[in-house]
Amino acid sequence: MTVRREFKGPASCRSDLVIGQEEPSAVAREQLARGGSVLLHGPAGIGKSTVLRALAAEYAPTARTVLRCSATESESHLPFLALADLLGLVLEEISGALPAAQRTALESALTGRGESTLQRDGLALRLAVLSALRALAAKGPVLIVADDLQWLDSASAELLGFAARRLGETPVQMLCAVRTEDEEYGRHLRACPPDTLSVRLGPLSRAQVSALLDQRGYTGLPRSTVRDIHRTSGGNPLFALELGRALAENPTPPRPGEPLPVPTSLRALVLSRLEMLSDEARRTLLVASAGARPTPALLHAAGRENADAECAQAAELGLLATEPEGPAVRFAHPLISAALYAEAPAQERRAAHAALSTAASDPIERARHLALATTGTDPDVAARLAEAAALARDRGAPSVAASLGLLAARHTPAGSEPGPDERRLLAAEDAITAGEVDLARDIAREVLTRATVPAERVRAWMVVIEAAGQALGDVDSVFPQALADAGDDPGLLALVYYQLAWRGLVVEGDFAEARQEAAHAAELAARGRDRRTELMALAFQASTETLMGHPDAPATIRRALKEPQDPYVACHHNGVGSARYRWLLMSDQLTEARATITALLREVRRRGMVESEVHFLRFLAETELRCGHCGRALDLARESLRLARDTGIGEGASAMLTSLAEASGGDAERALALAREAVGHAEEDGDQMYLSRALAALGYAQLVAGDAQAAVAALRRVRELEAHLGITDPARGRWHGDLAEALVRVGEPAEAQGVIDVAREHALRLGRESVLAVLDRSEALVRAERGDLEGAAAQLTSAQDRLAKLGHGLEEARAAFALAQLRTGRPGPTSYDEAARLFRRCRAQPWLRRVDAAAAARPAEPEAVPAVLDGLAAMERQVAALVMEGATNREIAARLFVSVKTVEATLTRVYRKLGIRSRVDIVRLAAGRRAK
């Protein structure tokens, strides 16, 4: 029997309901699966009821009886109400199992007939609840689901706790949720079994808040707005959704510098204690809410003479958090500050900003407060704001600079020099630097509706193109308009042709065209005396030449490094520093490459260049991966991916690199998922350049996962794409060795040799030593497949030594692993210890698992393998030996980390080489061996 089961569908169908709470949900799920009880706790709106419903929906089918109650504050004074919710519908079923005195007391409490109280019928009631739960559990497991435990009436809480403490091994589980602040949940555990696990639900990240808003239909919000929602809500999902709803219903978004609109529902929730403050104390808190970093000293300077006492009063009411070791005045929750500000009349807000415009010590803060205290245009205020924006830019705070620039534009009178639109465009460019592409695009589109000056229009078009990221195909219509606005001005044309170079590369997938457009842009920029654009174009030209294996690449890099330099270009992810780093990495100068990219990352972080930070984190991760530092690479790649998802910048590229890092040092399944995500991003954006890299990552992940057939399919696509793109340098994607290895595994050694020969020709021409060593490792597998085992062993040994000297730790370990596999089942050393040691040094967990599987799969006594198997390649001998042991194809695939298709293909080759027809004949060979 199941009672009041209101939860429909398995949890897997309701995963959207627990966005951001996956980890605590998993912890709770494990506890429930062990037969234990769970108490979810956290502040109001954090998602406790949502998680409770999802978990109950998942575990209700495992229980015969589900008992549920959900208390409310207004009913918490009514005795036995929660008990009636829990047991009311099963009273008839269990009453016959209770002793008369217990039955009478329980019926009286649940029905309200008689005058049962804990004082009069305490023992009988306590025993009745315990007996009732035992009676239900005797027929099958019982799940008690109790929400809002803090409002449970005291009588029900006492009775439930008494029974819970005495249930012992009785199959009764409790799943409860309680509203708490901080860690104050201990007293609520008294209503739960002794082994109850308390699970705290925490705030959501910015990315999780964004996903939640999208899931609830509040889509299309600029990322800067989502950032403000996350900050104001403190990551609380209920608060975030209410703020999102208020924005969706408000046709006029808040102006720069203004907080988000706070709906009345949230104001009432967080400001209920505000009425207990005096008017003067409320004004003091308003000044604090208007300040960026309020302190008692700042409040005193702003004219709040009794700030200390008034803040102490607010702290006692829970409006402010106490800071015993710091001078800051901090609100107990960011929403209190936002609601207090939203509640205040506009005149009082301006007065607070006016006071802070003279009290604040920081010039940026003074300028911001002056702007928010001023109505209408004012050239002096606009000038101060423009100066503050420049200062914020120099400090590495482009997001602040963009906000101040928009305020400056708002206060700039028409006809001024510089004008409002020029200041808006500068703000848009700051927003691009800060990674706030939605804001930048909106500003540029607004300028284009009225701007007539060609320079302003072209700058606006450039912002629109930059904001498109890798999806340049989406803004194809922009380029003709931008060229028309540029006219014959070489400086303006240089800007457009630089973006056309990117379009040729990303959309058309034509490196030759991209190189020509970049060279043309550099020439135009030099004529127009625009050194920044000239350097960016030269850096782009150098990068394309490097990837193409073009002989002019070193000379172009030298041209791009000539003085005068531009500090912005020097550290930009598409600038000359990045081009030089790529050259160093591809030339096996790993130590210098790491030093270069580390310095670039430090500088872009100082400047607040978010997009460059995303890419440089990825570049540093790639460098560490080359060096065999898989754990470090994985940490950096995950950091890059988190930042990319948070900002919406470079998600595909970061997913691609994180896939490579996961396949090398993390989890192969996650690697596959991330690689497919990267492929999806590239295909959606029409990005041919990153599609090839994403497919290369997918092929590598499939090879590590043991699916050689799928790896071949993905890497063949890479070969076709790069041939179309004109990429000839095998150091760019370094997929050639993986394709050759996968081809050998599926029985295509001839094609594998062809891949090696083509790649080797280019690697020799360009001096790519590590690529040549990897190709030799792959060629050794081809030689082993063809029966030249001694030659293969010598080639693998040489490749391993060269890779070690070059510092490519992971590739060195792979060579050692291939050598150990080659020797398996043959006379001589067969230990996998060296490969395991090298992979362990790299923290290459997926490869370590493959070594363990290979070591476990090898025959216990290699000398017992029939001599007839001597002519087989290493993989063929392993498969044949396992067939002799009676293993199925699926078991062999699992032990060797390959696919079932690979096992089948390998067996086909074994049959052909041994002149037999089926696995039965292999077993007969084994039987013949035993007969001897």
Report pLDDT for 689. 81
Give the DSSP H/E element, type plus range, for residue 698: helix 688-705
Report pLDDT for 169. 87
Q: What is the mean pLDDT of each run of 10 residues along the chain (932 residues)?
A: 34 52 89 91 87 90 90 80 87 86 83 59 83 91 90 86 88 91 68 87 87 83 82 87 83 69 78 82 92 89 91 86 68 85 90 93 92 92 94 91 94 92 95 89 93 94 91 90 96 96 87 92 96 95 88 90 91 91 93 96 92 94 96 96 86 95 95 95 86 96 93 96 89 94 90 96 94 96 85 94 96 94 58 90 94 72 56 76 80 66 81 82 67 42
Q: Which positions ≥6 away from 837 have C-beta within 8 Å?
A: none
- Distance in angstroms between the alpha carbons of the first and the last residue of the chain: 66
Report pLDDT for 460. 96
Phi, psi of 298 (to 5 degrees): -65, -40
Instruction: Give the distance, in angstroms, between the CA of residue 864 and the centroid of all CA atoms in the same chain.
Output: 51
List, in sequence order, every residue forming a beta bridge with 147; answer none if it has no partner: 70
pTM: 0.74
Report pLDDT for 2. 36
Distance CA 590, CA 318 (A): 55
Other CB atoms within 10 A of residue 17 CB = 18
Other CB atoms within 10 A of residue 657 CB = 29
Closest CA to 743 of 785, 796, 773: 785
Pairing assessment for the beta strands 172-179 and 65-70 based on DSSP bridges: unpaired
State the residue for tokens 């999902």. Answer: 237
Report pLDDT for 828. 44
Distance CA 321, CA 182 (A): 12
Closest CA to 461 of 449, 398, 470: 449
Instruction: Say if residues 570 and 609 touch (Cβ distance below 8 Å).
Output: no
Report pLDDT for 619. 96
Report pLDDT for 868. 64
Report pLDDT for 931. 41
Report pLDDT for 454. 95
List, in sequence order, every residue forming a beta bridge with 40; answer none if it has no partner: 177, 199
Query: What are the helix (H) ranges across 166-222?
Result: 206-215
Report pLDDT for 509. 81
Closest CA to 548 of 576, 514, 525: 514
